[in-house]
Amino acid sequence: MQDQARVVVIGGGIIGCSVLYHLTKKGWSDVLLLERSELTAGSTWHAAASMHRYHDNPNIARLQAYSQDLYKSLETETGQSCGIHECGGIYLASSQDRMDDLRIQHARARYLGFDFELLGADDIRRLNPLVNTDGLHGGMYDPLDGHVDPSGVPNALAIGARQGGAKIHRHTTVTALEPRADGTWTVRTNRGGIHAEHVVNCAGLWAREVGALTGLKLPLQPMEHQYLVTEDIPELQSLGFEMPLTRDYDKEFYLRQEVGGLLIGAYERDGRAWAIDGTPPEFGMELLADDVERMMPNLEQAMERLPCFAEAGLKRVVNGPMIFSTDGLPLLGPVPGQRGMHVAVGVMAGFSQGGGIGKVMADWIVEGDPGMDLSVLDNARFGLYATREYTVSRVVESYSNRFAIHYPGEERPAGRPHATTPMYDEYTEMGAVTGFTYGFERPLWFAPQGVEAKDELSFRRTNWFEHVGNECRTLREKAGLIDLSIYGKLLVEGPDAEAFLRHVFCGRIPKNTGRMALVPMLNDRGGIIGDYTVAKVDDNSFYLVGALGAERMHMRWFDDHRGEFNVAYRSVAAEYGVYGLAGPNSRVILQQLTREDLSTGNFPFFRVKDVEIAGVPARLMRVSFTGDLGYEIHFPIQYQRKMFHALRDAGRPYGLGLAASRALDSLRLEKSYPRWGLELTADTNPFEAAMDGLIDWDRDFVGKQAVLASREKPLKWQICTLNVDAAYADALGNEPVLIDGEVAGVVTSGGYSHTYRQSVALAYLRPECCTPGREVEVVILGENRLAKISAQCLFDPEGQRLRA
């Protein structure tokens, strides 16, 4: 076996074979795949191997569409059959909420260019005459849904990779991964060592064990998953065509035709974790003992929906382990702190996503960028909070709710509360309904006395709507106090701190102590990968405030571009609490608690100063994401109780109210403020996001050449504010925007302005469409709702309150 390779891929399932294949397509032939057993051993070989394009996240949907196209071309390229059955797929709605969900998916598919079709009962019976349509609210159809041969696709990818120069070694177990001083790796195996520039963990069920070889704890857990195959069914054989994949997620089953019978699978509510302490090294192409009794509630509902199934004989039961992450999505990309180490693991929908994941992983390794915004799949989205116990509880919950509707703003309970601030118990006593961000609990809204502190779940406005409205109006009219402790916070220090920040950020880094700036960060394609409030707090010290969920991604980016800069950086997110105090009375409230002069002349907008507030050491920042007169008060977290009660006591005479995350989101929409992960992503550039005015063009920075090139080209998209005529539901994000019935853009986020009693959305539209006052339509729950492009934000367009 060779002793050197540019890339070593560990694992010969669908994902490993796809990564290997796509690396050769990028022109890298010195690549090697190591498989401990046979190709497809683990989870790949026993998969039901369904394909679909349906997904809540648009970029994941695009990966899935790419996978389907790839498998068709592979057959021609390699001569290996992929066993493609493009039989179409029906999604049934046994509830009104499910039909709402399908309408949302149908609208999203429209702007993605997918030809999904909404169905009535007659349409369903036409497509699948075996379905009992009693009680159905409708359905949706994708003509390109189907399934493949779980052996054929990986082998076709392997053949294609070998044709491109790659090598595959079976029966080769990785025993150690040793980092070298130059950032490369020694891969130890039972057959010798290999020196590799890059290593990719695609080990599937053994991903945890491979990760542990480098000290990496991956938040993954295998689950038992069962499906059964029936004997031949006469009604099925008499159809004259292959039955479409049929899914009734309300009844919690999926089924498809398997030769002359049915394959029926379910995600049981009583999900069972497997191999919690580690996947057995001897496990390979075995199955687990079946437990059909656990599936019976699902199977009984399948019999009601497909009566012919009730009379079918049972041919076999497949119970095989599949590995999940805590949020059910794959973990992809470079591992923070381990140069040259990459992961592509936790891919539950291996055949739907495998082709696309192989492509973006190859792009990421070769080009340093996946080519699209994949922050929702980035392995760095998890932190140290994802412990073993937490992971198991969240994965079991995720598995058991695989088919459950994920409502807007829904916060599921497993593993919570996990990390809390000192005020958590008091907030709960005050009626706080809390959510979960990067391990931490944070208030979403406060239920008044006599109101149950619990979210109702719906795609329409729910029980918290009016209470959040009261929080917003109190802040706009008097003052509001918001716990912002879940903000990300980085400390960047050293002789080269300023020079380093000027290199990795494209905006104007403050030169003078006490000054602040809003500063975007770009990737090499000129896409926005972050935005921070950067405060200069000392000669060689900067304090950065941004999105907590992106901190590990951004620190990895810092590592990649640190070079010879004499600089140090670390997260201090858990060390500091933050309160946002905003509204017209905020200054007079805060002035009572500090000796500092907070007048506009002495402490104007975008200034920062270390002060004492109520006897607590604090970093005071004159800024507010509400867009109002306001402050952020950063302080050591152990003082949170004292700070809260001092602020609340001082604010009582001035009408200070409590507000929370949902109020903040409504308020920032009134100001048309973009948010990272929604309006600001790696898929948008500063010109499209109207952030080009923040760029310091007089110096070099990462991404400058790309953004200069984009400046010379016509814009593809332009951000706009839409005032929407919405009656009972607001835009959520990813709804198409129509002009004359044609897709002209897409909503990135939406909600309701309680101050102006107006539904509002931010959207990217084609630039030629962005005429203020122009009428467009936004598709909300299947209805085309009239909207108007606004020339300015709703609240304080001149910034007078903001800078007061």
Report pLDDT for 284. Answer: 87
How far, in Å, are 22, 228, 334, 353, 369 from residue 360 at the CA level? 9, 33, 12, 11, 8
323, 43 contact by CB (below 8 A) = yes
CA distance 255 to 264: 4
CA distance 368 to 391: 29
What phi and psi values does residue 492 have, to the nearest 5 degrees? -115, 120
CA distance 241 to 237: 8
Tens-digit pLDDT profile for residues 776-800? 999 999 999 999 999 999 999 999 9
Closest CA to 581 of 595, 596, 593: 593
Record the pTM.
0.97
What phi and psi values does residue 747 have, to the nearest 5 degrees? -75, 135
* The 3-state secondary structure of 129-140, one letter per residue: CCCCCCCCCEEE
Report pLDDT for 659. Answer: 98
Angle between the 551-561 and 497-504 helix axes, to the nearest 10 degrees? Answer: 110
Report which residue type is found at 14: I
774, 789 contact by CB (below 8 A) = yes
The tokens describing 84, both together, are 């493609």
61, 107 contact by CB (below 8 A) = no
The tokens describing 577, both together, are 């609490």
137, 4 contact by CB (below 8 A) = no
The DSSP code sequence of 627-687 is: SSSEEEEEEEGGGHHHHHHHHHHHHGGGTEEEE-HHHHHHHHHHTT---BTTTBSTT--TT
Q: Which residues of the chain have pLDDT under 50?
A: none
The DSSP code sequence of 416-456 is: -S-B--TTHHHHHHTTEEEEEETTEEEEEEEPPTTS-----
- Burial label, 167 (beta-carbon count in 10 A; 0-12, 13-18, 19+): middle
The DSSP code sequence of 22-36 is: HHHHTT---EEEE-S
774, 787 contact by CB (below 8 A) = no
Instruction: Name residue, tokens 């406005």.
Output: 461
Supply the DSSP symbol for 243: P
Length of the chain equals 804
CA distance 266 to 254: 6
Instruction: Name residue, tokens 């392997």.
Output: 158
CA distance 16 to 83: 19
Q: What angle do CA 401, 404, 406 make, to 5 degrees?
A: 105
Alpha-helical regions (H) of 220-349: 234-237, 292-305
Q: What angle do CA 526, 532, 535 make, to 5 degrees?
A: 130
Supply the DSSP symbol for 231: P
Tens-digit pLDDT profile for residues 433-447? 999 999 999 999 999
Closest CA to 138 of 124, 159, 153, 152: 124
Instruction: Reduce the DSSP state of residue 4 to 3 states and report it.
Output: strand
Report pLDDT for 649. Answer: 98
Closest CA to 789 of 800, 802, 778: 778
CA distance 205 to 324: 9
Report pLDDT for 1. Answer: 84
Instruction: Name residue, tokens 């990272």.
Output: 676
How far, in Å, are 424, 429, 635 from residue 434 at the CA level? 9, 12, 22
Report pLDDT for 356. Answer: 98
What phi and psi values does residue 529 have, to the nearest 5 degrees? -105, 0
- Burial label, 209 (beta-carbon count in 10 A; 0-12, 13-18, 19+): middle
What phi and psi values does residue 48 have, to the nearest 5 degrees? -70, -20
Instruction: Name residue, tokens 């079918």.
Output: 312
- Burial label, 725 (beta-carbon count in 10 A; 0-12, 13-18, 19+): middle
Instruction: Reduce the DSSP state of residue 419 to 3 states and report it.
Output: strand
Angle between the 58-78 and 350-367 helix axes, to the nearest 10 degrees? Answer: 90
